[in-house]
Amino acid sequence: MTSRNQQLFEKSQQLIPGGVNSPVRAFRSVGGTPIFFKKGLGSRLWDADGKEYIDYINSWGPMILGHAHPEVIAAVQQAAANSLSFGAPTGLELEMAELINKLVPSMEQVRLVSSGTEATMSAIRVARGFTKRNKIIKFEGCYHGHADALLVKAGSGLLTFGEPSSAGVPPEVAAHTLTLDYNNTQMLKDTFSSIGDEIACVILEPVVGNMNLIVPHQEFLQTLRELCTKHGTVLIFDEVMTGFRVALGGAQALYGITPDMTTLGKVIGGGLPVGAFGGRKDIMSVLAPLGPVYQAGTLSGNPVAVTAGLTTLKLIQAPGFYDQLTAQTAKLMDGLKQAAQKAGVTFSAQSVGGMFGLYFSASNPTSYAEMMQADKTAFNKFFHSMLDSGIYLGPSAFEAGFVSAAHTDADIEQTVQAATSAFAGL
């Protein structure tokens, strides 16, 4: 019999390019038919055929509390009853800005948008307007959304398809983007020594989640901060993924590095579309209506989406929340590594807060080049074995995974048991 997932995918391909609305969902990297979901509750998902899964994607990070948290759902229902949108200021926007500033003090002023791509695109525009420079630096394998200037040697879905950049991006736009090696401190020094005074900003994922999970070297982050300060370059931490995921104050709190600007998304929407960018007040003052840098959005600060985010941010401040989330994620990693070792499979894994990375390599990669050496074929086989066992991982060897507060010891035990069988099959 043809499954409901297959039926939906066949029909979707007639009306939606590739049958999906975001490329990695198509399963092109791992093969097979994408899963169409209809329900989520806590740590679990149910697909169109009614099959149940333990979810380690969590909508790519936002569902830090788990799916359909009752307090978030109740708050959203109440907000929706007052209207879905105003296109005008609300007190909720101010409440969100105050809370972000409290939790991430480097964001002295904040502007809300509707996606992470909007946030990073706008932050770079502000940095260029503030410095009156054009050149920007990003790092190979880091993905900052699908804005033209950032689709140069990017990660996430572009790595999945083996494409270092995107068609449709004019060469003259990409020409202003310099791409360096992540965690390569000497390359940083050499680049700034050569053209430091021409660089408007440096943008990076302080913990990379878009070429799988890559952890930064402390020296790399510290050197970057010092060079940006010396040359008047705006340092942007893209914490769309890491914000409130690796620690309450984000990666910048975890590593003790203060950026000039920060972009947020995912968790601050609680599952609905919210993004934000912010930073030093003097930098943010170049934004319209105060300054010459224009940015706008009809649904920016949408009351229903902001309500979901506010409720989520309030709940994650509970005492011990991050200690428990970090411990559960580490417990999962330890279980998987032990299972692989018993099976004699070359495998490594690591986690930061509620984010994790799985690699079919002898050690945890620290750069794009090292990540490319991991065994993608082994991952694909592992992915499908886990999927068959009801464990939903990211359908790409180049994506980080996520644990939520709803994941129990029983969930982790079931996952490790499934992995034990999967490793044996390798």
Residues in the chain: 426
Residue 238 appears among annotated catalytic residues: yes
Could you confirm whether 148 is annotated as catalytic?
no
Catalytic residue among 47, 255, 266, 368: 266
The CA distance from 2 to 24, in Å, is 23
With beta carbons less than 8 A apart as the criterion, state whether 356 and 333 touch. yes
Interatomic CA distance for residues 279 and 263, integer angstroms: 9
Question: Whole-angstrom Cα distance, residue 192 to residue 204?
Answer: 16
What is the identity of the amino acid at 8? Answer: L
Q: What is the SS3 assignment for the chain?
A: CCCHHHHHHHHHHHHCHHHCCCHHHHCCCCCCCCCCEEEEEECEEEECCCCEEEECCHHHCCCCCCECCHHHHHHHHHHHCCCCCCCCCCHHHHHHHHHHHHHCCCCCEEEEECCHHHHHHHHHHHHHHHHCCCEEEEECCCCCCCCHHHCECCCCHHHHCCCCECCCCCHHHHCCEEEECCCCHHHHHHHHHHHHHHEEEEEECCCECCCCCECCCHHHHHHHHHHHHHHCCEEEEECCCCECCCECCHHHHHHCCCCCEEEECHHHHECECCEEEEECHHHHCCECCCCCECCCCCCCCCHHHHHHHHHHHHHCCCCCHHHHHHHHHHHHHHHHHHHHHHHCCCCEEEEECCEEEEECCCCCCCCHHHHCCCCHHHHHHHHHHHHHCCEECCCCCCCCEECCCCCCHHHHHHHHHHHHHHHHHC
Find out whether 396 and 32 touch, Cβ atoms under 8 Å: no
**What is the CB neighbour count within 10 angstroms for residue 342?**
11
Catalytic residue flag (residue 322): no
Catalytic residue, chosen from 143, 182, 255, 322, is: 143
Residues marked as catalytic: 143, 238, 266
